[in-house]
């Protein structure tokens, strides 16, 4: 059995490969990369500039180079394919599944796409790609591949095996054999095991399983991902409005969707307004971070105004200022915890989930318990360890209790409201809630201080 070469992507190897490119030592490049996994080579090329990456790709077999292109980081992929001539890029797309080819073509303008497609050698591949380009990129239709294996219900096992052999030449991974009628309507699927064990004259209609989950072409990719995750599917057929089989989506495509969605949510939660990576330009990264940072600065300025309003009271009770960071930090932490749980629940919705009102009640009870524990703890520390007056300890402890309730309310309700209006609730879990809780927390803190300390 041929083994896959696994090598460590070290800086030393990177430099040696870069030196080989510079002196055009093609033998070293080919031999050192021979048998290596395409994902490892792609990770290596991500570290190169466009000219170096292109040089390596052009030395490799077209099929291997095509697999490497699919694995490249998006920024690296764009730089590389934009430098290729349409005829050269078409050679690589000819080696890809139709859905991967469409992903690359979507990086170009309509006119450029047409130019590249005109150079495709496989006319069937060209037809598949033209069909897929009609669908929204974020839909099941835009995610599916046209390469799959199907069998007519009227075929016997011998006919089916011959057809599988013919179709399998263009299908890299076989997960299921889909069964259709004469009009290409999806009826079910049949396993390879049943085909192998059945007698040669057995009809597919007698052994296929009609219980099959499929998705329509217009379904959003995130819904498809949730269905495949829920039912642990390796692939799922895609049908049009007339229930005709038009493609399939495989688990590797869904993993990409899940990863992209996780990255988007993580960036939204941390206050980054667009898709950026560490390798992007300083200007692009700065532009993505600035909006929420500005909101944080504005919130801080507003917070300073709240403190300024209570300046006279602070002069009477200077020790109050020492507990401002405690109040602000606790409110921020509680808000982030509450919103993160709600966002996680919204991301994997179920018919058995609690209603928004039930979520609110549950969140309130949790906040009530946490608030009582934290408030009592702070009261005891301030009075018995720090040696302050009981009335002062009560002020800090009661403020902590109220801030926890307020922050929990904000963290629970805000994502639910955003989700109701179709806005990504993950944006509520970052600077938005932190800034809001700082402002409300300070207002509550000083309000209680004025009441209990007679400021």
Q: Cα–Cα distance between 52 and 336 in angstroms, integer?
A: 44
Residue 347 lies in a domain: yes
Tell me, yes or no, whether 158 and 120 share the same domain.
no
Q: How many domains does the chain have?
A: 3
Give the domain-ending residue among 86, 108, 135: 135
* pLDDT band (50, 70, 90) for residue 255: confident
Mean pLDDT of the 39-54 span: 89
Query: For 134-143, 167-176, 275-284, which range has the lowest pLDDT when averaged over its residues?
Result: 275-284
Tell me, yes or no, whether 448 and 361 share the same domain.
yes
Tell me, yes or no, whether 254 and 297 share the same domain.
no
Tens of pLDDT, residue by residue over 380-424, are 998 888 777 888 889 889 999 999 999 888 888 888 777 777 766
- CATH number of the domain enclosing 56: 1.25.60.10
The string of DSSP codes covering 301-366 is HHHHHHHHHTHHHHHHSGGGGGGHHHHHHHHHHHHHHHHHHHHHHHHT--TTSPPHHHHHHHHHHH
Residue 94 lies in a domain: yes
Tell me, yes or no, whether 340 and 414 share the same domain.
yes
- CATH number of the domain enclosing 339: 1.10.357.20
Residue 216 lies in a domain: yes
pLDDT score recorded for residue 351: 45
Give the domain-ending residue among 202, 226, 260: 260
Residue 276 lies in a domain: no
What residues form DSSP beta bridges with 150? 178
3-state helix vs strand vs coil in the chain, percent to 5: 65, 10, 25
* pLDDT band (50, 70, 90) for residue 229: confident
Tell me, yes or no, whether 94 and 178 share the same domain.
no
Residues of the domain holding 83: 11-135
Percent of the chain with pLDDT over 90: 32
User: Considering the chain, what is the average pLDDT of its residues?
Assistant: 83
Mean pLDDT of the 76-81 span: 90
Tell me, yes or no, whether 54 and 127 share the same domain.
yes
Tell me, yes or no, whether 444 and 326 share the same domain.
yes
Helix (H, G, I), strand (E, B) or coil at 178: strand
* pLDDT band (50, 70, 90) for residue 118: very high
Going from the C-alpha of 33 to that of each of 22, 70, 71, 244, the distances in angstroms are 16, 17, 15, 43
Tell me, yes or no, whether 83 and 186 share the same domain.
no
Residue 1 lies in a domain: no
Tell me, yes or no, whether 205 and 92 share the same domain.
no
Mean pLDDT of the 277-302 span: 68
Tens of pLDDT, residue by residue over 299-356, are 777 777 777 777 776 666 777 878 888 888 888 788 878 877 777 776 665 544 566 6
Residue 393 lies in a domain: yes
Q: Cα–Cα distance between 56 and 32 in angstroms, integer?
A: 11
Tell me, yes or no, whether 294 and 424 share the same domain.
yes
Query: For 197-206, 354-363, 400-409, which range has the lowest pLDDT when averaged over its residues?
Result: 354-363
Q: Give the residue from 62, 58, 63 showing the smallest Cα distance to 45.
A: 58
Q: Cα–Cα distance between 370 and 376 in angstroms, integer?
A: 10
Q: Cα–Cα distance between 295 and 28 in angstroms, integer?
A: 53
Tell me, yes or no, whether 293 and 250 share the same domain.
no
Residue 91 lies in a domain: yes
Tell me, yes or no, whether 167 and 256 share the same domain.
yes
The string of DSSP codes covering 392-413 is HHHHHHHHHHHHHHHHHHHHHH
Helix (H, G, I), strand (E, B) or coil at 132: helix
Q: Cα–Cα distance between 428 and 341 in angstroms, integer?
A: 12
- CATH number of the domain enclosing 213: 3.10.580.10
Residues 6+ apart with CB under 8 A from 411: 334, 335, 336, 337, 338, 339, 340, 342, 363, 428, 429, 433, 437
Residue 270 lies in a domain: no
pLDDT score recorded for residue 442: 85
Other CB atoms within 10 Å distance of the CB of residue 400: 30
Q: Cα–Cα distance between 417 and 421 in angstroms, integer?
A: 7
**Element housing 292 (H / E):** helix 282-309
pLDDT over 70 (residue 276): no
* pLDDT band (50, 70, 90) for residue 237: very high
Q: Cα–Cα distance between 61 and 292 in angstroms, integer?
A: 47
Q: Which residue has better confidence, 154 or 452?
A: 154
């Amino acid at each position: 059995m041929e083994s896959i070469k696994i090598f460590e992507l070290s800086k030393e190897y990177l430099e040696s490969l870069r030196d080989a490119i510079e002196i055009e030592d093609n033998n070293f490049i080919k031999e050192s990369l021979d048998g290596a996994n395409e994902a490892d080579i792609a990770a290596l090329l991500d570290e190169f500039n466009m000219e170096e990456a292109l040089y390596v790709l052009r030395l490799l077999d077209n099929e291997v180079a095509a697999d490497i292109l699919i694995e490249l980081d998006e920024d690296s992929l764009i730089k590389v394919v934009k430098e290729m001539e349409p005829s050269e890029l078409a050679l690589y797309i000819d080696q890809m599944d139709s859905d991967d080819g469409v992903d690359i073509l979507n990086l170009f303008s309509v006119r450029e796409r047409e130019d590249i497609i005109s150079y495709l050698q496989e006319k069937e591949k060209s037809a598949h790609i033209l069909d897929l380009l009609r669908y929204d990129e974020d839909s099941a239709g835009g995610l599916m591949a046209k390469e799959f294996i199907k069998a007519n219900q009227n075929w016997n096992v011998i006919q089916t095996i011959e057809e599988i052999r013919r179709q399998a030449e263009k299908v890299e991974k076989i997960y299921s054999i889909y069964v259709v009628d004469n009009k290409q309507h999806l009826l079910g699927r049949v396993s390879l095991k049943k085909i192998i064990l059945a007698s040669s004259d057995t009809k597919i209609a007698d052994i296929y399983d009609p219980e099959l989950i499929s998705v329509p072409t217009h379904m959003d990719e995130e819904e498809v991902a949730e269905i495949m995750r829920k039912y642990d599917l390796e692939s799922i057929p895609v049908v049009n409005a007339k229930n005709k089989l038009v493609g399939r989506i495989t688990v590797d495509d869904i993993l990409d969707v899940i990863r992209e969605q996780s990255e988007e949510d993580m960036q939204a939660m941390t206050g980054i307004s667009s898709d950026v990576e560490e390798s992007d330009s300083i200007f692009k990264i700065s532009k993505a971070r600035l909006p929420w940072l500005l909101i944080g600065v504005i919130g801080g300025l507003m917070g300073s105004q709240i403190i300024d309003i209570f300046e006279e009271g602070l002069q009477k009770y200077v020790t109050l200022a020492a507990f401002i960071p405690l109040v602000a930090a606790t409110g921020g932490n509680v808000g982030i915890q509450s919103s993160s749980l709600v966002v996680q629940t919204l991301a994997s919705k179920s018919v058995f989930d609690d209603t928004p009102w039930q979520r609110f009640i549950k969140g309130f009870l949790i906040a009530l318990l946490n608030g009582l524990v934290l408030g009592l703890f702070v009261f005891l520390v301030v009075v018995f360890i720090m040696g302050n007056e009981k009335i002062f300890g009560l002020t800090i402890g009661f403020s902590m209790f109220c801030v926890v309730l307020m922050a929990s309310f904000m963290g629970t309700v805000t994502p639910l409201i955003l989700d109701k209006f179709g806005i990504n609730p993950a944006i509520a879990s970052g600077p938005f809630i932190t800034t809001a809780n700082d402002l409300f927390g300070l207002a509550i803190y000083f309000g209680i201080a004025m009441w209990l300390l007679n400021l």
